[in-house]
Chains A and B, each alone.
Chain A
């Protein structure tokens, strides 16, 4: 434990926490995106593929563990990862602000990508989006015609509204940028650097971000276009 505490005391240690919690969140985002693609599949045995998948998520681990147990383990795990991710971000941002109280009268941004400059505000947008998203599709308060358990129906009803579509489009764009810089930073922070593979890190980050962007937005676009109903 003493060694963990020593690492945590340094800014690098806080970045490691940021990277590891980020990895958990990448994993979630990617799985979530794969799950949403169920919207594209035809119904199975009178049930929408999305609803079958949603039921599977609730019952995963049953009968070894009681109903919804693993679902709640995953939810609490993700909540913990989000908390650690935000806490580290706040601590590191404060340290960085204190390190440069006075800026330059004239400053060129050397190699600062749009993604890297907007990590902090992009993160805030994503946090607000996550709150809205849970109220929208999980608990239903932000949904005009929410029916518990009828995931496919809720999904289609929501994205028939161009305004809702626009909110998700903005959030996915923010996520795309956040993932691009996040995935690349993950390699760098954990020291996953090797002369043979380093040139693949940025393309991998771009690919991961784009696949996520396209994967998440394909079903809502088809709903808005009237292809899925």
Chain B
């Protein structure tokens, strides 16, 4: 099939960018979206032009590296699918496709479709650690966990940190990401010791990074390639309220 691409090109951070038009010829419907871009890039390279920069790594939908706005939807039209797992059969011959990077103050564009998502790393870092005995691997079932909690923790842990939630949110909020990371540990017995410090630290870093605030639209959960629910944002809110309003004084016990 033949496609017309409108791709955001930007040479470096802070430089003005623009949309450029490319014709993608002889695209097979079995190609992934990234393979289609590979083919376009190959031609650009042969013509002595700068290829389109985009991030990718595993191409199996599990690393969270790829991600771009495809026709105004993060990761493109197929729900619960990353850009690398999106196939060209989701488009038809003659389609025009607009490809843009995630847009957020906290995700500055580095080049073309590549944005700097290190803000996510700093949110995770501010979540700190969990207190567990290191050394030999613990016995698999030594700590009993309710099935519902294990499932909820696992669902939250499927977040791959791709940034689609921020891209979709009209406020460029990273609440879904932060909520997934907070809940993932808050639902586990191993995450209890630092639970209240963690939620506070992560939310404060979230705000400091310049992400917007959640206005409960729910666009993030539609965009999330892992289908993470905004119920986790409610959990984050509840944990944060508990962590602040009902936290015990630091000095407590007999010596206080």
Contact = CB atoms under 8 A, between A and B. Distances in A.
Interface string A178-207: 000100110111111101001000000000
B125 interface: no
B124 interface: no
Contacts of B213: 11-12, 14-15, 92, 95-96
Quick one: which of A107, A110, A185 has the most chain B CB within 10 A?
A110
Interface in B206-235: 206-207, 210-219, 221-223, 230-231, 233-235
A143 B216 CA distance: 39
A187 B251 CA distance: 33
B216 A99 contact: no
B212 A4 contact: no
Interface stretch (B25-33, B101-109, B126-134): B101-109
A4 B238 contact: no
Contacts of A99: 104-106, 171-173, 210-212
Q: Interface extent on B, as a size class?
A: 35 or more
Interface in A126-151: none
Interface stretch (A29-37, A71-79, A111-119, A208-216): A111-119
Given A105-B100, A191-B238, A100 B105 contact: yes
Contact of B239 (A103, A185, A188, A191): A191
B219 A111 contact: yes
B172 A6 contact: no
Contacts of A193: 231, 234-235, 238
A100 B218 contact: no
Contact of B247 (A3, A188, A189): A3
Given A15-B213, A193-B231, A110 B105 contact: no
Given A96-B170, A100-B103, A3 B245 contact: yes
Given A105-B100, A193-B235, A10 B216 contact: no
A6 B207 CA distance: 13
Contacts of A7: 240-241, 244-245
B37 interface: no
Contacts of A13: 240, 244
A188 B172 CA distance: 18
Contacts of A195: 231
Nearest to A12: B240
A46 to B, nearest CB: 50
Given A106-B98, A106-B100, A107-B72, A188 B244 contact: no
B104 A106 contact: no
Contact of B72 (A102, A106, A187): A106
Nearest to B203: A10
B215 A96 contact: yes
A203 to B, nearest CB: 16
A60 to B, nearest CB: 32
Contacts of B240: 7, 10, 12-13
Given A3-B247, A10-B240, A100-B212, A191 B200 contact: no
A45 interface: no
A4 B216 contact: no
Interface in A153-196: 181, 184-185, 187-193, 195
A117 B235 CA distance: 24
B233 A188 contact: yes
B81 interface: no
Quick one: which of B6, B8, B240, B247 has the most chain A CB within 10 A?
B240
B241 A191 contact: yes
Q: Which 9 A-B pairs have the closest CB atoms?
A: A191-B238, A99-B212, A193-B234, A96-B171, A11-B213, A7-B244, A96-B212, A99-B172, A110-B222
Interface of B: 6, 8, 19, 69, 71-73, 98, 100, 103-106, 168, 170-173, 200, 203-204, 206-207, 210-219, 221-223, 230-231, 233-241, 244-245, 247
Given A105-B19, A116-B217, 17 more contacts: A11-B206, A12-B241, A13-B244, A15-B214, A96-B170, A96-B212, A96-B213, A100-B171, A105-B8, A106-B98, A111-B219, A184-B216, A187-B234, A188-B216, A188-B230, A191-B234, A198-B231
